[in-house]
Amino acid sequence: MSLTQHFISCKDLDREDVESCLQLAQKMDELLTEDTVPEILTDFILATLFFEPSTRTRLSFESAMQRLGGKVISVAQKESSSATKGETVYDSIKVIEHYADIIVMRHSDKDAPQAAIAATDKPVINAGSGADEHPTQALADMYTMHKEKGRIEGLNMVFVGDMKYGRTVHSLVSLLSLFPNNSLTFIAPKALSLPNEYQELLDKRGVSYLASETMDAALHQADVIYMTRIQAERFEKTSEYEKYKGSYILDRATVEQKCKADVTILHPLPRVDELSTDLDELPNAAYFRQAGNAVPMRMAILVKLLGKEDLILT
Ligand code: NCD
């Protein structure tokens, strides 16, 4: 499966898929800058279903749809949906497919996207499946690297924080592994290291990577530092989370003393304490631009899945 019907996992994408999304996002960016976005999705309704909290992902999808002239209907949180009454994902989607032409869904269960696509032929986009994947964020991250570094290959990437539960990391690792000469370093407490499944994927694709529990030694060679939040909501006990909270903090002094002058700092946001606010004024701090890049990339994804790509590229 590539990006033709649903978008559930980065493992389904190949290099051409990623490149074509980057090209389309770039075109969207140009149209946004010139204020000339064609309203090509006026006939379509997007349903956003977020069974887990979201600000950026939901709003950037809704903004992307509306900028293209499309309409949006939304169930904001689990509390206000029939999931609280015990409805299955399959049943919810069977109903919602009558109300919308494309569905964006976030759910705590990693298998929820599979249940959704079993229920409908309408395009389903995974906007976060538990601790497993967050594929559209990874495409926005690739687009950010393409803009900030001018390339998505030959990068020395240092990931810091929660490699176990960080779904954005999992999806991004999978995309980076499609391009040559990227070398990856994963900094995490042992208990929060990258799941075997993703290590196996990197092995299979011949990508060089290493893991460490300490951050500072890896920083000097980084082209990109990808900071992440320790994912509090995935721990069974708060005491477990407390053990790891504050494990890694990147601040301005560390970046100025230890990193290459042109290092790019990314974070999918929200940040807790791992990214000091004194970094925000540095040109290297690209995380707010990264959040902005989600709009042209999500516009690209919507247009692709709704089969309107040719209207933008020609
Ligand atoms: C991320 C997520 O939901 O996984 N946020 C996002 O979509 N930008 C990262 C996080 O919550 O830490």
Region of 124 on the Ramachandran plot (φ > 0 left; ψ -120 to 50 alpha; else beta): beta
Q: Within 10 Å of residue 100's Cβ, how many Cβ atoms?
A: 22
To 10 degrees, what angle do helices 135-149 and 56-67 make?
80
Side-chain half-sphere exposure of 209, counting CA atoms within 13 A: 26
Judge whether 134 counts as a catalytic residue: yes
Element (H, E) at 156: strand 156-160
**Pocket of ligand 1 contains residue 268 by CB under 6 Å:** yes
Instruction: Look at phi and psi of residue 177 and say left if phi exceeds 0, alpha if psi is from -120 to 50, else beta.
Output: alpha
Structure confidence at residue 82 (pLDDT): 73
Q: How far is CA 203 from the centre of its chain?
A: 22
Catalytic residue among 67, 134, 146, 267: 134
Q: Tell which residue, 247, 244, 163, 156, has the closest CA to residue 198.
A: 163
Which positions of the chain have pLDDT values less than 50?
1
Q: Catalytic annotation on 106?
A: yes
Q: Separation of 74 CA from ligand 1 center, angstroms?
A: 19
Among 106, 107, 229, 304, the active-site one is 106
Q: Helix H segments across 150-285?
A: 167-176, 196-204, 216-219, 238-244, 252-258
Phi, then psi, of 145 in degrees rounded to 5? -65, -40
- Please report where in the chains the tokens 């900071």 appear, as a residue: 227
pLDDT of the residue at 80: 58
Query: Which residues does 172 contact at the CB level (< 8 Å), separation at least 6?
Result: 10, 137, 138, 141, 142, 226
Q: Note the pLDDT of residue 79.
A: 60
